[in-house]
Homo-oligomer: A and B are copies of this chain.
């Protein structure tokens, strides 16, 4: 049973091995193989996690970045900070991607990791880090969800 086109949902628990490899959920692999040439773009997430984009999704971001002229100081900085932590990767014959030591450190990943579908990308978390982030966010602004209510008809 494969997923909708390039759409990631669900939660999966895997082990990060000593070489920095993590499994990509089988369901996600199938949704990716054709147009994306088995390629992901791996980068820092905005929380303490790793973001993994399928090539097609990343190319949308890339196209936007291309339109920012380096004559502008703030544009340069933005392009740099977006591009700098990203790197392409394919999964191996067993369906795993390799995370760089610097990404593992950034996200505070240990042996047990959680992969979460985020519709257009997936996230890789240290489970305890996720729990903390989650608690904090909702504590800061308990009514934040309410503002979304008229945008999303759940």
A107-148 interface bits toward B, Cβ cutoff 8 Å, 1 = contact, 0 = none: 000000000111111010000000001100110110011001
Interface SS of chain A: mixed
Given that A59-B4, A152-B61 are contacting pairs, would A134 and B81 also be in contact in the complex, using a CB cutoff of 8 Å?
Answer: yes
Question: A1: nearest residue on chain B (CB-CB)?
Answer: B90
Given that A83-B9, A83-B118, A117-B84 are contacting pairs, would A1 and B65 also be in contact in the complex, using a CB cutoff of 8 Å?
Answer: no
Count residues of A near B (Cβ-Cβ below 8 Å). 62
Q: Is the CB of A74 within 8 A of B144?
A: yes
Alpha-carbon distance between A152 and B123 when the two chains are bound, in angstroms = 19
Q: How far is the CB of A59 from chain B (nearest CB, A)?
A: 7
Residues of B within 8 A of A86 (CB): 9-10, 117
Q: Is the CB of A116 within 8 A of B46?
A: no
Q: Is the CB of A116 within 8 A of B9?
A: no
Alpha-carbon distance between A70 and B88 when the two chains are bound, in angstroms = 20
Interface residue? A3 (CB, 8 A): yes
**Cross-interface CB contact of A87 among B10, B85, B137, cutoff 8 Å:** B10
> Residues on A close to B: CB < 8 A?
1, 3-4, 7-11, 27, 39, 41, 46-47, 55, 59, 61-62, 64-66, 68, 70-71, 73-90, 116-121, 123, 133-134, 137-138, 140-141, 144-145, 148-149, 151-154
